[in-house]
Structure formats: structure tokens, C-alpha cells
């Protein structure tokens, strides 16, 4: 088997691959592939969506939840959520009992 350095998309470090020229079989060196997976996971950012705050009535405000977000969190209308405000710039919504 031939040792080949390969570039993985979104990973900075090259990964060592062992490839067979006859049958096409290949395998990755465990240490280098795990390093690349770690680099890719580190680049993943949490979902961020720009939303508008809407005026409901009197002095109450609200926000629509995108249907894809609602589906991924399995939210249904009328369900209770827990809201916390850790600082002046963050609003945290927990869908499960904290």
C-alpha cells in the first residue's frame, strides 16, 4: 500500500491515506483523520438567523420562529419554553426543562 497525503475539505492539516494501486482500497491513518475531523468540527458555527422583533399588543413583544428551526427542535404551537437573559446582548431559549 502506498502512503499518500490528501487534502480534506475544510481541514487545514493534510491527512495520511494508505492506498492500494491494484484494487483501489484506501484507508486513513487514525491520528491524522481524527485531527482533520476535529478541525472541521471546530469550524462549524451554530445556526444564526436574523429575526425581527414584532409588536404584539400594548407593551408586549414577540418573535416568529423559522419553520426549519421549529422542525429541528420539534416545537409545536402552545408549548412552553424557558427563557433566560444571561447579559444585555443574549437571550437564551431552552426547549427542555433546565
pLDDT in tens, 19-67: 988 888 999 999 999 999 988 888 877 777 888 999 999 899 999 998 8
Backbone torsion region of residue 25, taken as left when φ is above 0, otherwise alpha when ψ lies between -120 and 50, otherwise beta: beta
Q: How far apart are CA 41 and CA 13, in angstroms?
A: 13
Q: How far is CA 41 from CA 9, 15, 37, 70, in A?
A: 12, 16, 6, 24
Q: How many angstroms separate the CA atoms of 36 and 6, rounded?
A: 11
Write out pLDDT tens, residues 67-94. 888 888 888 888 899 999 999 999 988 9
Our CA angle for 93, 97, 98, nearest 5°, is 75
Amino acid at each position: 500500500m502506498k502512503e499518500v497525503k490528501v487534502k480534506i475539505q475544510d481541514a487545514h492539516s493534510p491527512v495520511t491515506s494508505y492506498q492500494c494501486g491494484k484494487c483501489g482500497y484506501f484507508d486513513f491513518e487514525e491520528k491524522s483523520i481524527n485531527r482533520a475531523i476535529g478541525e472541521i468540527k471546530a469550524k462549524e458555527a451554530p445556526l444564526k438567523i436574523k429575526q425581527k422583533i414584532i409588536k404584539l399588543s400594548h407593551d408586549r413583544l414577540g418573535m416568529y420562529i423559522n419553520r426549519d428551526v421549529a422542525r429541528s427542535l420539534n416545537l409545536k404551537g402552545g408549548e412552553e419554553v424557558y427563557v433566560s437573559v444571561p447579559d444585555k446582548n443574549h437571550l437564551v431559549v431552552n426547549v427542555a426543562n433546565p
